[in-house]
Structure 1
Amino acid sequence: MSEGSAPQSAEQKKTDILGRIAHFLNLDIAKKAITKEETPSSEAKGTSNSGSTAESPVPDGSAEAPTPETVVTNKKLTAEEKAAILAGEKTFQEGITSINHIIAPDSMQIDFDRVKVSGMHARTFFVYNYPRYIDSNWLSPVINIDATMDISMFVYPIDNNKIMKFLRNKVTQISAQIHMNQERGLVRDPALEAAFQDAEELRDELQRGSEKFFHFSLYYTVYTDDEKKLDQLSKQIQGILGGRLVLAKPANLQMEHAYNSTVPIATDELGVFRNMNTSPLSSTFPFTSSDLTSNEGILYGINRHNDSLIIFDRFKLPNANSVIFATSGAGKSFAVKLEILRSLMLGTDVIVIDPENEYQNLCNTVGGTYLNMSLNSDQRINPFDLPTPAAGVLEKPGDILRSNIITLTGMVKLMLGSLSPTEEAIVDKALIDTYALKGITLETENPHEKEPPTMEDLTNVLMNITGGENIAERLSKFTRGTFSGLFNKPTNINLNNGMVVFCIRDLEESLRSIAMYIVINYIWTIVRSSLKRRMLVVDEAWIMMQHEDSARFLFGLVKRARKYYLGVSTITQDVEDFVKSPFGKPIITNSSMQLLLKQSPAAVEPLGNIFNLTEGEKYMLLNSGVGQGLFFAGSKHVAIQIIASYSEKMVVSTNPEDVLAQQNK
């Protein structure tokens, strides 16, 4: 044997293996094992076959011989070395806290039909039968039930080739059976024909690749704090599923395996599965319920999907605007008045345009200001008023005047029916000159501090402009004729109150759209003057949507409201007229909150196209009761039931029975 190549002893060989473990695993535990195996005696150094002891020679200039702790090798591991590494890894892993240790209960008592886990009674069920047809979201009532529950689903893909061969044989057998029955003159068997049709359809879909085949297992475990409640809950859930022809059984005598199958470790110990292709499998997707409950805001109603409360703050949405669509008597005004009453409690100012005198009782109850806009009323609004710039909002001197001139041009067009381009240019010039008479120009600083002109000033200016005489004559009924005084006097009202209602019921039909336009413009003037959390309710908005200029003005208000901390609620029962307007759909898309109550058959289709409603949701809207419908907030929507306490109902209800009961008190 050559010098320096003495054979290794068993101890050295073991040490070398452990050194390799330390190198490959880089674990301190392995290094400590190596150190422990070393002995301090000189026998650890170069023992020969003859038993003599000698220093292992180290060539000059070479590095010190490697110790077991610093062994580096490129040699391929032997089977013995691999076994040692695996044994070391197993020892190491046994000392690590795993997910099983974390989720393991304190105690577990297993009976034939239940499991008692850490003081809770649990029972696991498996689904063993499904109907021929199954609706989407069929599992939602179980998921949303108010109970503690674990649900596990296991999906096993199956090779399509195997299923295709089986289906081919099955179709052949069924077809042969049908022909035999026909030859014997037997009455046709609908079940046999349905099975043949289903098998053929599935074969076609599998062949096209539009469907795949799976084995599907569904287990659920329910938990209660006593045995009686466990039995009640078990029957309740079995009843819910049974109503959809989905049959489930408790996993008696296999309760431990069944319970383990619903523990979140993705292990199916029960192994009860049923055949299912892609379409019905997709209907089991469990995450379909929406929840609109937050820690801030007001109560809007009850979530009909899971009986949770719908509580949120509309001002937390991208914008605070809303639209409400419903037939007459469906509860839209009731819902809005509830929102108003509850919003006032949180410090929100509310302004209402009331075409039918529905809000007077609520306004008087909360101590608000009720303004009756009529020809005989003493309350007036001057449409020429200019807003005071809100603090922190930078506007150039001419911006305020220019914006108001555009608004007034729309008002004149609304009053006169229409204007030609030439007449519109004349009106624009006349408005600039009218303000100039009061010392207000596009260069005037703080124009709101000047006395504003009136409608009569405008007609006087028009009389002195070439081509303006005819326009002045047409406007004369608003300054000297039947409607004089209504829009031709200085403003004598203010909105410094929690709730202000503008009632336009007593106005002539031809004046309603004009009055709504002027009132909203005045409200917009006040809103721009001071930033404050406000809500503007425009009831019967279809009146404004009948005219392009008023519809455009309402859309502009909705689009800009967020900047001034304003939420606009647009309410209408005439859905068709609203959506036919070129500004109807833009108003809807610029409203983050929508409430759809009971609808007529004619209104369901256009709403279905706008809101992408399913057939089930359309059916719900057609058959909803009073105060029931769909509630949209941002990207979520739920079925809602609007509720009110007895005291709230007496204040906000316009039902004749409730009104008489209140008056007779």
Structure 2
Amino acid sequence: MKNDTLNTVFPIYAVENDLIVSKKGDISVGYKLKLPQIYSLDMAAIERINQLFDKIIRSLPEDTIIQKQDYFFVDTVKEAIAKGEHMLSRSDNKFFYEKPTLSHECYLFITKDSKKKMSITSSPKQYEKYMEEVDTFLKTVTTSISFLIKEEFFEVEKMKTDCMLEVIGKYFSLSPKGNQALQDIFFDKKLQVGNKVGEMYAITSYDQLPLTIETTKKNIDFSTQKTNFQIPFIQPVCLGLECNHIYNQVIYISSSDSIFSKLKTKLNQFKSLAILSKENEVTYDQIDELVSTVIEKELKFVNQHFNIILWDTSEEKLENHKNQLENSFKELGITPYQIKYALKDLYINNAPGASVYIPENYKFIGISEQTPVFLNFESYYEGNTNGILLTDRKNGAPVRLDLWNEPLKRGLIVNRNRLIFGPSGTGKSFLINHIASQYYEQGHHIVMIDIGNSYKKLCQLVNGQYFAYDLDMPLQFNPFYFQSLSEIDNEKKVFLTSLILFLWKGDDPHMREEKQIIGLYLDAYYESFESDKDKFPCMSSFYEFVDQHSVMDNEEKYFDKTSFQLSLRDFHDGKYSQILNSKDQIDLVQERFIVFEMDNIKDHPVLFPLVTMLCIDVVMGKIRKIPEIKKSIFIDECWKPISKGEMAQFIKYLYKTVRKFYGEVAIATQDVEDILDTPAGPAMINNTDTMILLSHKKKMATKDKFAQYLSFSESDLEKLFSTDKREVFIKVGSVSNVYKVTVSPERYACYSSNADENKFIYDVYNKKKNMQLALREFVEK
């Protein structure tokens, strides 16, 4: 084979002024695109994006080339993914170190085809004259790209000279580093770049495509009997291909009349040959349908070329990748053309800014409306620098999901509150442990109200405060207490009104007048402290105040004081007198991790909801004193007793107060019906912008309820019901996706609810009194 010098085959003359200039005078401008996450687009979004690119194609002048390149690189995790010295943070770095990952970059080059093909190297004057025409072209391109910039799906960045040089380096070195020192390249029926071997497959004819192509296709793995999980048609050979590869997509915008003329010639040829061959008849029908569609819908003809370059460091690995690619093509009904003899021309001329020179026989005619079906509009999960550490559903790469700051900045949410649904056995407490532990490691103050000791190990690991309610030695509170009367604001009175009504009426309905009179008593009670500073604020002194005073004429007509006293007497001087009259306030301001465990009173109709409310009120007192610090409150299975009757007002109070003081409430339960079937349900849903759901494959009957009450779209439901064990569906505002919950062995040991595993861990803990050592011993075992 003839050996060409780099100078004779390299198509690029210069990269300057943020433009790529070919040797024949073609000018290219480049953009780096950030695409939507894989699996995040529904059918409507995909259709909308396709229409957008059709609009861009139509807006550009003739003799323009759109060249879109998607680079997919296999890599490994080398940098620390967690900060800090906490045991669990360090375990993340160890666990994920050198885990394989896939990265993706997308670049869009728009080229002005000079047509004249003058030699710039030999005629600088012609070059200068041609450059004068470029200005108009660049303004047109800027207008067309503005269509992309306005869309929520994409982030668009115009490429500078350095970035263009880097991408050219990536292409010719097949490396994510963008090596600009070119290596030896060989094209003997197989691509060889340095120590890498590669192959190229191309789509160059309609004959290689199935008879019908839809915008999306069904993903069998993620679909169920009641849901069809749709993905973009071309995904299997783009993000679905788990190896190093580049997907080149080239669209030539030419005169529709000239293309139409060529088509008519072809049409006549195949018509006359149809009698000789069924294949010719099919081809004739395809072309005839294409022409009819274009005429009928007034569409635009284009020429197009698509190819995939894949490579690895050994022939054996490359062979595996080829098999994977060919299977993916087969799945799409596409028969690709494996490039052998034209490898040099196609590889070199698919470089950024060089696609003018792709030979004509490797292009085929398409319609601008249909061409976007072959373009890739997805990327791998791109994580944030802060947030919850999860993993990519596609390839298990670590990704951080920011549910705190980014959604607010993007306008996706107006509050940080969350509802967490996890049917039995799907790992709800495991997930909450994972979220809470990471937030603690990132500086949050954490409060957890729980049934079942799910968070005891984590609390002991971080040396937090663990309060387990004991009937013999009950926790003591005093929600009436204040250090300064200014603390008794309207929100505090709303809480106390709800509390008193609950103690008086329980789940029974109350009259509006009764609620108003309690409010008047609270106003008068706290006003009395201005003249009687020796009185101590507590349940007993309030009880006595109501007994000795009245707040309006004919009060007895609306307020049964005898009923009130009989119902509350136990909390004044009876069997529950310790609970609401404490003189020693629980000081939790400096405690960063607090757990209130309610397992011992979970079946008590009075104490359970009462103590849960009191715990939350203590937390409210804490968060008001540290307004600048992030605060997360998790209520796991304890919310239901406080969501009945008057307690709906308490839920509103809780949500409103937390939002004002840089905090969030995360309420967790097993079933969505648990929320929907309570009076407080609408208030909770209306004040929650983030929904987190574990696998609901066994709960398909709830599909319609999710759509009706949680405003889940069909796309949301497809994603939700595709979720499997150790996967989590997260919807933030209007944006939803599915992630994996993959953790280090140390985190697993800390979160596990397995009885046998926990027995081993606590046997070690009881001996050594050190949870960190107990978890390590379990992991080593």
Q: TM-score, normalised by structure 1?
A: 0.68
2:222 maps to what in 1? Answer: none
**Does structure 1 retain, via aligned residues, the 8 Å contact 2:495–2:653?**
no
Answering whether residue 494 of structure 2 is matched by residue 406 of structure 1, we say: yes
For 1:460, give the aligned amino acid: E
2:306 maps to what in 1? Answer: 218
For 1:607, give the aligned amino acid: F
CA–CA distance in structure 2, aligned partners of residues 285 and 605 of structure 1: 34
CA–CA distance in structure 2, aligned partners of residues 587 and 111 of structure 1: 64
CA shift at 1:307, angstroms? 2.8
Structure 1 residues without counterparts, runs of 5 or longer = 1-85, 178-191, 389-396, 445-449
**Does structure 2 retain, via aligned residues, the 8 Å contact 1:628–1:642?**
yes
**Does structure 2 retain, via aligned residues, the 8 Å contact 1:540–1:571?**
yes
For 2:396, give the aligned amino acid: D
Answering whether residue 524 of structure 2 is matched by residue 433 of structure 1, we say: yes
CA–CA distance in structure 2, aligned partners of residues 473 and 238 of structure 1: 80
For 1:476, give the aligned amino acid: R
1:90 maps to what in 2? Answer: 126
CA shift at 1:334, angstroms? 0.4
Name the CA shift for 1:418/1:649 in 2 (closer, same or farther; >3 Å): same
**Does structure 2 retain, via aligned residues, the 8 Å contact 1:545–1:578?**
no
- Give the one of 201, 223, 248 matched to 1:125: 201
- Give the one of 381, 393, 396 matched to 2:477: 381
Answering whether residue 187 of structure 2 is matched by residue 111 of structure 1, we say: yes
Answering whether residue 727 of structure 2 is matched by residue 628 of structure 1, we say: yes
**Does structure 2 retain, via aligned residues, the 8 Å contact 1:545–1:581?**
no
Name the CA shift for 1:403/1:663 in 2 (closer, same or farther; >3 Å): closer
246-255 vs 655-664, which deviates more? 655-664
**Does structure 1 retain, via aligned residues, the 8 Å contact 2:586–2:618?**
no
1:502 maps to what in 2? Answer: 596
CA–CA distance in structure 2, aligned partners of residues 204 and 519 of structure 1: 72
1:295 maps to what in 2? Answer: 385
1:638 maps to what in 2? Answer: 737
1:595 maps to what in 2? Answer: 692
CA shift at 1:404, angstroms? 1.1
CA–CA distance in structure 2, aligned partners of residues 371 and 340 of structure 1: 17
Deviations 1:213-272 (A, max 9, x none): 876542222344455444443333333443444443421211123224532327261554
Output aligned runs, 1:133-532, within 5 Å: 134-135=216-217, 136-140=231-235, 142-144=237-239, 147-155=243-251, 209=297, 217-260=305-348, 262-265=350-353, 267=355, 269=358, 272=362, 282-289=372-379, 291-299=381-389, 301-317=390-406, 318=408, 320-373=416-469, 375-386=471-482, 398=486, 400-415=488-503, 416=505, 417-439=508-530, 453-463=537-547, 464-465=549-550, 466-467=555-556, 468=559, 469=561, 470-481=563-574, 483-490=576-583, 492-495=585-588, 496-507=590-601, 508-511=603-606, 512-531=608-627, 532=629
For 1:355, give the aligned amino acid: I
Count of aligned pairs? 542
For 1:376, give the aligned amino acid: D
122-131 vs 611-620, which deviates more? 611-620
CA–CA distance in structure 2, aligned partners of residues 515 and 232 of structure 1: 61
- Give the one of 626, 648, 663 matched to 2:747: 648
Deviations 1:40-65 (A, max 9, x none): xxxxxxxxxxxxxxxxxxxxxxxxxx
Helix, strand or coil: the match of 1:487?
coil
1:533 maps to what in 2? Answer: 630
What RMSD over aligned residues (CA atoms) do the two structures have, in Å? 4.6
**Does structure 1 retain, via aligned residues, the 8 Å contact 2:651–2:683?**
no
CA shift at 1:330, angstroms? 0.9
Helix, strand or coil: the match of 1:510?
coil
Deviations 1:362-411 (A, max 9, x none): 323332222123543332121223487xxxxxxxx757433211221122
Name the CA shift for 1:636/1:516 in 2 (closer, same or farther; >3 Å): same
**Does structure 1 retain, via aligned residues, the 8 Å contact 2:643–2:679?**
no
CA–CA distance in structure 1, aligned partners of residues 236 and 618 of structure 2: 49
For 1:572, give the aligned amino acid: T
For 2:526, give the aligned amino acid: Y
CA–CA distance in structure 2, aligned partners of residues 629 and 363 of structure 1: 24
CA–CA distance in structure 2, aligned partners of residues 284 and 587 of structure 1: 43
CA shift at 1:420, angstroms? 1.4
Deviations 1:96-153 (A, max 9, x none): 9999988375356341433344665443221474454551324445444565432222
CA–CA distance in structure 2, aligned partners of residues 325 and 627 of structure 1: 14
Name the CA shift for 1:331/1:608 in 2 (closer, same or farther; >3 Å): farther
Q: TM-score, normalised by structure 2?
A: 0.59
Structure 2 residues without counterparts, runs of 5 or longer = 1-121, 133-159, 173-181, 218-230, 276-280, 409-414, 765-781
**Does structure 1 retain, via aligned residues, the 8 Å contact 2:302–2:368?**
yes
**Does structure 2 retain, via aligned residues, the 8 Å contact 1:545–1:577?**
no
Answering whether residue 676 of structure 2 is matched by residue 550 of structure 1, we say: no
